Structure 1
């Protein structure tokens, strides 16, 4: 049996960037297969039941979907070069950054891809899915049709004329400068070794915001150290590196963490509340839909509407499960830190109806 993994994904796919960087750092043998329409029809949908990439085929012919699930599974099977900190604050912060990157940085990622001058580059990328061997003009034509579907998701994320100025201000004047300052002083989020949160960041910061022409120019101008971090994350590292001693969280991350709890966490908390109500109102529906209506979100001084993404609760559960596993001594340290960044109350969120992933679908736990 071959010990090689197979990654089904695409260069322009946000979450493929996360999975690829992880496989590279772990030094796991893998080959990457472009997720063309043929691959979707013959492998991805039949093997996973969903139409999402990346998908990772294991040496044992399992097909893993969702990057958090992929990383969780491979961390158990390949504990060497672990990306999970063992100390309490660092472990929690790593989970927080993963969820922030996966579910919040997707907002600027989608905005800068579909609302900026990235064409025909993006159309060529998407055209390869259907017509990989056709002339560029055909690929661009097909890619524009495919791209229209993805662009249709943009308003669902709350990206409209009303919110775009706030999104751009937040990303260009806060997120990028803060990350740039951090990566000027540290190779990765928590030291000289990447953690789970680094791989989360690689999704939006690589596939959309580093590769697409318009946001790439912005990143290189405003945050050259972030661009260097992206490049570092895509290169094999001979030296494993270490997390910072004494469970230290760098000061350069504190403002980002504060904004996470101020801006993203109310959305996550309300998602839990609204999903609890939806489950009560739909007791006989086995599979939970991906969205269940709309709610408010705030970036900067702008409040707007966006779809309620039910999968966010599964990501919140990961964070809370991490927090609740700490012993009393760890809790003292973690709680003092959370209080300092405005996150202590957030960790008290009570989830009455837990959800789980079964056959890559979101369902209510028994």
Structure 2
């Protein structure tokens, strides 16, 4: 624990021990040496309380020692980094910090769908994790276990995989993107312990979301990683076992060249997807079709939250000093990110959208079953 985090009262993290964003926050708190207790959410019992405290029901929710509640992993981390800046995870170099934010957002929003696909598409993972989630979060629901497990599989697939744009024809493309990511990360982690260098950063924490509690946990993607990218598996364990207070490593002065293939993927797939989503939201649609990165998504769910994500990426860039904006634009142009970052001129944001974060949210990432 660093000196400025010693005064933090123990936190209660309400979530699941196989949850994407719960695992992301756990990695952050462990790295920072911030004490927390993981408490499994119970459905439907916790729904009304969470809506009362943070405005909506989504996983995870953080309960502070002073009685305040927080939501949205990205905003929670930014709050802790601002309140307790000593020995943090955001590089002091403003340009490196920007690329950390970009990678975190990409990991949060773009890799969510492939992670859910690998968990729920294949029976091996779907049967295993539906049993786990039912036992963990639906224990109080007085229905037969088999029915609850069926409900869980149906809900997750209809909400986040086949119900969020993945068609039978698109499965191969989604999985090819994962294999490409593994090859890129295997090359990086064969050279150094963390994404940017010898010290973990916000970029590592962001990428831990899809990997720690999904790709490196669910049986089908885990076996792929074991065979194709063992250095990635080492990184997952290394991040979980690292404490910044004991870390002597440093960040580089500039962005490593081998990060640029990740940025090229952001420019080719993620940012165009955010634009397609923004256009659909502006048109008042609830679903949309899009072809990005060589993969067709049919009837994907619109997300007002992701419109805000695109706005945040622009705001973070505009907050850079003139020299860093110039240098950052060169990298963004070289990797195909610059044009799609600014493609949609007017973003369809709600009045005051997400201004209450991290204490109160306006919109969910995806409004499933609503």
Q: Report if TM-score (shorter chain) is over 0.5.
A: yes
Runs of 5+ unmatched residues, structure 2: 1-6, 365-370
Say what the alpha-carbon RMSD is for the aligned residues. Answer: 2.5
- Whether contact under 8 Å (1:162, 1:304) holds in the other structure is no
- Whether contact under 8 Å (1:292, 1:310) holds in the other structure is no
More deviation, 84-93/48-57: 84-93
Separation in 2 of the partners of 1:352 and 1:318? 11
Counterpart among 278, 301, 309 of residue 315 in structure 1: 309
What is the CA-CA distance between 1:176 and the residue it aligns to? 0.6
- Whether contact under 8 Å (2:157, 2:163) holds in the other structure is no
- Whether contact under 8 Å (2:119, 2:126) holds in the other structure is no
Alpha-carbon displacement from aligned partner over 1:212-237 (angstroms, at most 9, x marks no partner): 11211111111111111111222242
Alignment match, 2:264: 258
Alignment match, 2:19: 13
Alignment match, 1:130: 138
Q: Find the residue that maps to 2:291 and give its secondary structure.
A: strand
Q: Does 1:156 align with 2:156?
A: no
Alpha-carbon displacement from aligned partner over 1:143-177 (angstroms, at most 9, x marks no partner): 332232111121233211010011111212x1111
Gap change, CA 1:255 and 1:41, over 3 Å in 2: closer
Alignment match, 1:57: 63
Alignment match, 1:167: 174
| Higher RCO (Cα < 8 Å, 6 or more apart) | 2
More deviation, 231-240/101-110: 231-240
Separation in 2 of the partners of 1:150 and 1:161? 16
Q: Does 1:360 align with 2:361?
A: yes
What is the CA-CA distance between 1:277 and the residue it aligns to? 4.2
Alignment match, 1:286: none
Q: Find the residue that maps to 1:107 and give its secondary structure.
A: helix
What is the CA-CA distance between 1:132 and the residue it aligns to? 7.4
Alignment match, 1:294: 288
More deviation, 269-278/221-230: 269-278
Alignment match, 1:96: 102
Alignment match, 2:197: 191
Alpha-carbon displacement from aligned partner over 1:56-89 (angstroms, at most 9, x marks no partner): 1112111101101211111122112211122233
Counterpart among 79, 86, 91 of residue 80 in structure 1: 86
Gap change, CA 1:39 and 1:9, over 3 Å in 2: farther
What is the CA-CA distance between 1:21 and the residue it aligns to? 0.5
Separation in 2 of the partners of 1:224 and 1:132? 39
What is the CA-CA distance between 1:124 and the residue it aligns to? 1.8
Alpha-carbon displacement from aligned partner over 1:97-130 (angstroms, at most 9, x marks no partner): 1111111111210110011121432122111211
Q: Does 1:229 align with 2:235?
A: yes
Gap change, CA 1:184 and 1:139, over 3 Å in 2: farther
Q: Does 1:202 align with 2:195?
A: no
Q: Find the residue that maps to 1:270 and give its secondary structure.
A: helix
Separation in 1 of the partners of 2:255 and 2:282? 34
Q: Does 1:327 align with 2:316?
A: no
What is the CA-CA distance between 1:325 and the residue it aligns to? 1.1
- Whether contact under 8 Å (1:131, 1:142) holds in the other structure is no
What is the CA-CA distance between 1:308 and the residue it aligns to? 2.1
Alpha-carbon displacement from aligned partner over 1:273-297 (angstroms, at most 9, x marks no partner): 333444xxxxxxxxxxxx7321313
Q: Find the residue that maps to 1:120 and give its secondary structure.
A: helix
TM-score, length-normalised on structure 1? 0.87
Separation in 1 of the partners of 2:169 and 2:338? 31
Separation in 2 of the partners of 1:209 and 1:139? 26
Separation in 1 of the partners of 2:127 and 2:274? 35
What is the CA-CA distance between 1:347 and the residue it aligns to? 3.8
Alignment match, 2:281: 275
